[in-house]
């Protein structure tokens, strides 16, 4: 049997890897006690994407008040915490530094462990915050703004990457296509809403589905969509039709690869994680796939698909309880790694 460690209280989670400032308190027995996300969308909207320098400054302004709010709501003191978990990477260097420096300093001041957490591990294990939680092992499709991966998940820290994107991530392709269609940043939710009223047109290509393997590529589809926008004559509803054709091509591709991965691995549980997992059309498609294949599919609650701190506090708690001799997470130095592979 694996040894585990008793944790001395709930864990504070901090997330500042990109354009959301988030804090949450998670307790191993009682679940999420308090959570807040402050989105910087308005700040970056005029630029059509995240401006790293503005992001860091805003994290520095918002983070401490958010931490105070969640601690008050959960009724915990710093000394009463089991630890402070912060996102150490991957993400924007300056943005990560704010969360890491703050989390580490608070943990030192309160004499509790500071736990650096991998952002993708947060996404990947977020479905475990819901009931019923998927048992290990499972197949995970991680679809976010920065990553698109198929993974075999055996347990905490035991991940095998089966396939990943060779260029754009799915969320990135959504955001760039949305800009082409005249939608505001971040484009994913806006493109989803527009696609609802789209009518079927000639299908867009399903990239890399005609050859074996589990890797993805979305930059060609993005170019195809750009040409469709530039070369077709304008008509009422054209953008919605294109949005629908683009979304269907992306989700068909994801379904084809997930089906292949389920057959290849024989896994009976499928987890959808990351920001794009909030998309209802994707959820419907994956539910149908799971019914067809006789497997169970798990989606995190929508607000836990996109960036949040509950998923970071949750992984921090798992790491703490898996460290029977007490954590040793870099001692007096905080840890930030903007580029960080999940297998490292």
Least distance (Å) between residue 92 CB and ligand KG4: 11
305-324 residues in contact with Zn ion (CB under 5 A) are 307
- Given Zn ion, ligand KG4, none, residue 174, with its beta carbon under 5 to 8 Å by kind, binds ligand KG4
Residue 186 interaction partner, one of ligand KG4, Zn ion, none, beta carbon < 5-8 Å per kind: ligand KG4
Residue 190: CB minimum distance to ligand KG4, A: 8
Residues 303-332 that bind ligand KG4 (CB under 6 A): 306-307
Figure out which of the listed residues 58, 121, 168, 192 binds ligand KG4, where binding follows CB under 6 A. 192
188 binds, among Zn ion, ligand KG4, none (CB under 5 to 8 A by kind): ligand KG4
Binding mask 152-171 for ligand KG4 (x = CB under 6 A): -------------------x
> Quick one: tokens of 118?
């991998």
Range in contact with ligand KG4 (rule: CB under 6 A) among 78-86, 92-100, 141-149, 219-227: 141-149
Question: Is residue 279 a contact residue for ligand KG4 (CB under 6 A)?
Answer: yes
Please, what is the minimum distance in Å from the beta carbon of residue 331 to ligand KG4?
28
- Which of 94, 99, 207, 274 forms a contact with ligand KG4 (CB under 6 A)? 274
* Secondary structure class of 299 (helix, strand, coil): coil
Instruction: Give the nearest distance from C-beta 2 to Zn ion in angstroms.
Output: 28
Q: Residue 295's closest CA among 136, 138, 129, 127?
A: 138
Q: Between residues 260 and 283, which has the closer beta carbon with respect to ligand KG4?
A: 283
Q: Are strands 158-164 and 269-273 parallel, antiparallel or unpaired?
A: unpaired
Contacts 24+ apart (CB under 8 A), 258-266: 258/139, 258/141, 258/150, 258/286, 258/289, 259/289, 259/292, 259/293, 260/214, 261/139, 261/150, 261/162, 261/163, 261/214, 262/139, 262/293, 262/295, 263/293, 264/162, 264/214, 265/139, 265/152, 265/162
Distances (CA, A) of 22 to 30, 59, 70, 74, 245: 20, 9, 10, 15, 34
Question: Which DSSP state fits 1?
Answer: -
What whole-number distance in Å separates Cα of residue 155 and Cα of residue 228? 43
User: What are the residues binding Zn ion (CB under 5 A)?
Assistant: 144, 307
């Amino acid at each position: 049997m694996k040894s585990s460690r008793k944790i001395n209280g709930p864990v504070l989670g901090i997330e500042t890897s990109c354009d959301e400032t988030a804090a949450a308190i998670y307790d191993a027995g009682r679940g999420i006690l308090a959570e807040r996300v402050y989105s910087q969308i308005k700040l970056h909207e005029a630029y059509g994407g995240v401006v790293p320098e503005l992001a860091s400054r805003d994290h520095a302004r918002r983070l401490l008040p958010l931490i105070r709010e969640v601690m008050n709501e959960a009724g915990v003191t710093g000394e009463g915490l089991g630890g402070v978990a912060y996102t150490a990477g991957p993400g924007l260097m300056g943005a990560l530094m704010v969360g890491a420096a703050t989390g580490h300093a608070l943990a030192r001041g309160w004499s509790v462990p500071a736990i650096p957490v991998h952002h993708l591990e947060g996404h990947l294990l977020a479905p475990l915050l819901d009931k019923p939680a998927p048992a290990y092992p499972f197949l995970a499709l991680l679809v976010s703004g920065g990553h698109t991966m198929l993974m075999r998940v055996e347990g905490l820290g035991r991940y095998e990457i089966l396939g990943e994107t060779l260029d754009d991530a799915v969320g990135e392709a959504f955001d760039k296509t949305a800009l082409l269609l005249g939608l505001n940043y971040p484009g994913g939710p806006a493109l989803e809403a527009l696609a609802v009223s789209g009518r079927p047109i000639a299908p867009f290509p399903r990239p890399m589905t005609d050859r074996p393997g589990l890797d993805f590529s979305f930059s060609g589809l993005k170019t195809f969509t750009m040409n469709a926008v530039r070369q077709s004559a304008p008509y009422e509803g054209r953008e919605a039709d294109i949005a629908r054709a683009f979304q269907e091509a992306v989700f068909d591709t994801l379904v084809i690869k997930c089906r292949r991965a389920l057959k290849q691995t024989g896994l009976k549980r499928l987890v959808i994680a990351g920001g794009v997992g909030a998309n209802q059309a994707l959820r419907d498609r994956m539910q149908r796939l799971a019914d067809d294949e006789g497997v169970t599919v798990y989606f995190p609650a929508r607000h836990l698909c996109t960036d949040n701190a509950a998923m970071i506090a949750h992984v921090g708690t798992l790491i703490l309880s898996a460290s029977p001799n007490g954590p040793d997470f870099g001692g007096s130095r905080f840890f930030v790694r903007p580029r960080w592979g999940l297998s490292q």
